[in-house]
Chain A
Amino acid sequence: MTTAAAVAPSPVLEVRGLSVSIGRHDLLHDLTFTVGRGERVGLIGESGSGKSLTSLAVLGLLPEGARATGSVRLAGVTHDVVGASERAMASVRGNDVSMVFQEPMTALNPTMRVGAQVAETILVHAGRGKRPGADRAAVRQRVVALLDQVGLPAPAELARAYPHQLSGGQRQRVVVAIALANDPELLVCDEPTTALDVTVQAKVLDLIVRGVEARRSAMLFITHDLPVVATVCERVLVMYGGRIVEAGPVAEVFTRPRHRYTEGLLGASDLEGARPGKPLTTIPGTVPPAGAFPEGCVFRTRCRHATAECAAPPPWSSADPGHGHACVHPAGGER
């Protein structure tokens, strides 16, 4: 495993048996994973696999009506996120754990100056718990410093701008500044670059990684962009149908995928294998709607290798939930 995890044995995030359901639909099923101190973990899968819901569950931001069981523990937080009150979670969010959202066009309040929105995050946690109270001038200075850190030009003037005056990339930089404002132990990024221009994506990605590294923060990075995971993350979790189907170091999972779903994902994003006139590789079928996943292996309805054996839930291949797969017919030979 990574050196960071070896140095600090207690993980920043520890998820055990997390299941989430809305009504009669099971959306997340028995998730178990950890994120070590300073570790960068990717969470990949198609849309509808439950990636975003997992990230929201980590912050205790599940939508109304969702029922969660299991446990989500964060370093430095005495209570379990699952079942915690909104009041208890308010002092955790933005402080111990924070989040970068996908859509920079809607993640900022249109009626507030962006500087005020960064300051808000600092001020709501000032004087709470480990943080000292803050005076206005110091906060203003920190806001400008943060905006400068995320590479915004003329940060002092820009702090007085309203969101609609900024471009998408600039807004996402502000969102990152807000997320990093209180030096969180864990930064959750939900597809932070998907909505941006390709040219801007790399820059924003780079500043997120630098920001996280400078703070020695851990990161849970959700995306369906596999090359991004390969460059940013150390470990990767592959999700499908609300389950983790494969987990392991990025180098290993991406070069020698075991689960047939991972293999399909990698095949679909292999642009070097694409030739003009030849159809692109795809995973057959589409992600079924919530509640319509098959019993047993959730992927078996779309899997070329599925047999009758797959009708029973496939066991996890190893004792370590952070390294293994749940496939009866793994790629690259038998288990």
Chain B
Amino acid sequence: MSAQPAGPIDPTRVAGQPRVRRRPGPSLVVGGSIVAAVVLMALLSFVWTPHDPTLVNAAARLRDVGDPEHWLGTDKFGRDVLSQVLVGARTTLFVGVVAVGVAGLLGVPLGVVAAMAPRWVGETLMRAMDLLLAFPALLLAIMFSAVYGGSTLVAMIAIGIATVPSFARIVRSGALQVLSTEYVLAARAAGRRSWGIGLRHVLPNVSSLVIVQASVAFAIAVLAEAALSFLGYGTPPPTPSWGRMLQESQELLFSAPRLAFVPGLAIAVAVLGFNLLGDGLRDRYDPRLEDRR
């Protein structure tokens, strides 16, 4: 069913209904480019890094930015900063995918069920979500790390669980809107049961909301990983992570501020990218913002 629907249908379409393909807005372009750049960095790090990112080289400690051999300098152990940043992009993406995946896989079905189930079930689920929302995400992650041992995966599952309510809420409100439409009534009139309506009619029509929420949650997860690694609860050494690079730079903040500046900039730009992407996607897909353009 991979057709080009516009093509063969055109002749039969009534006049006065031209289909306008909107140009993507600036935030979508910039955000998309930044996210693409992070992905490319991560992919590149699998095949090529200037140096081994974990190689300790006492002879080349604390080189400055612009060093002919180490373009972004080296840290106190002589490890190449550029290589660490490249490999750190992997961690960043992994972190985002895990957290958003957990949040989405739990939050989206919960939201749909809360919308379709009898009222009291929905209300109970949403109050439970409110309860979960009362826990700060970072606190939950630290608790998880304390109980299950510190690793990126554990921390990010915790961040994901803490993000479930935001997905559930957005999906539920979207699903309630979809359920009140005439095409859902028509589907019921055609004999569709609730499962079919949930899967075929509700889910596809709330997917744009989910995509937007996912890009925002991605940014939050990246920040959370950085914060956790900075506190020592996130990615354990020697795996390079932007957050841990920041933490390790702490003691040299005055003598070598570039060691904090480089990963800090990477985190800031990546988070900005994901937020812009989410913003751009919302502008493009949220019908409620249609007339404001």
In the complex, B17 has a CB within 8 A of chain A:
yes
B203 closest partner in A (C-beta) = A111
Q: Contacts A90-B193, A113-B1 known; A165 to B181 CB distance under 8 Å?
A: no
B204 neighbours in A (Cβ, 8 Å): 109, 111-112
In the complex, B12 has a CB within 8 A of chain A:
yes
A169 neighbours in B (Cβ, 8 Å): 14
A99 contact from B3, B14, B181, B189, Cβ within 8 A: B189
Q: Is the CB of A170 within 8 A of B186?
A: no
A116, B1: Cα distance in complex, Å: 10
How many residues of A are in contact with the other chain, CB < 8 A? 45
Which segment, of B146-154, B194-202, B215-223, faces chain A?
A: B194-202
In the complex, B191 has a CB within 8 A of chain A:
yes
A121 contact from B3, B191, B193, Cβ within 8 A: B191
CB distance from B131 to the nearest CB of A (A): 27
A160 neighbours in B (Cβ, 8 Å): 1, 3, 5, 8-9
Q: Is the CB of B12 within 8 A of A124?
A: no
Which segment, of A28-36, A151-159, A246-254, faces chain B?
A: A151-159
How many residues of B are in contact with the other chain, CB < 8 A? 30
In the complex, B187 has a CB within 8 A of chain A:
yes
CB distance from A98 to the nearest CB of B (A): 6
CB distance from A268 to the nearest CB of B (A): 28
CB distance from A151 to the nearest CB of B (A): 12
B12 closest partner in A (C-beta) = A153
In the complex, A108 has a CB within 8 A of chain B:
yes
In the complex, A91 has a CB within 8 A of chain B:
yes
In the complex, A148 has a CB within 8 A of chain B:
no
Q: Contacts A91-B191, A153-B12 known; A165 to B186 CB distance under 8 Å?
A: no
Q: Is the CB of B12 within 8 A of A106?
A: no
Q: Is the CB of A98 within 8 A of B190?
A: yes
CB distance from A177 to the nearest CB of B (A): 11
Q: Contacts A124-B192, A124-B193 known; A167 to B9 CB distance under 8 Å?
A: no
Interchain pairs with CB closer than 8 A, number: 105
Q: Is the CB of B5 within 8 A of A94?
A: no
In the complex, B6 has a CB within 8 A of chain A:
yes
B185 closest partner in A (C-beta) = A61
A113, B5: Cα distance in complex, Å: 9
In the complex, A161 has a CB within 8 A of chain B:
yes
A157 contact from B9, B193, B205, Cβ within 8 A: B9
B181 neighbours in A (Cβ, 8 Å): 106
In the complex, A226 has a CB within 8 A of chain B:
no
CB distance from B9 to the nearest CB of A (A): 5
- Between-chain CB contacts (< 8 Å), 23 pairs: A61-B188, A94-B191, A98-B189, A98-B190, A99-B186, A109-B183, A109-B205, A111-B205, A111-B207, A112-B200, A112-B201, A113-B1, A120-B196, A120-B200, A154-B9, A157-B9, A160-B1, A161-B9, A165-B6, A165-B9, A166-B9, A169-B14, A170-B12
Given A93-B191, A101-B185, A121-B190; 11 other pairs, CB 8 A cutoff? A61-B185, A98-B189, A107-B183, A108-B183, A109-B201, A124-B196, A157-B9, A165-B13, A165-B19, A170-B12, A175-B186
- The residues of A with any CB-CB pair to B shorter than 8 Å are 59, 61, 86-87, 90-95, 98-99, 101, 103, 106-113, 116, 120-121, 124-125, 152-154, 157-158, 160-162, 164-167, 169-170, 175, 178-179, 181
- The residues of B with any CB-CB pair to A shorter than 8 Å are 1, 3, 5-6, 8-9, 12-14, 17, 19, 181-183, 185-194, 196, 200-201, 204-205, 207
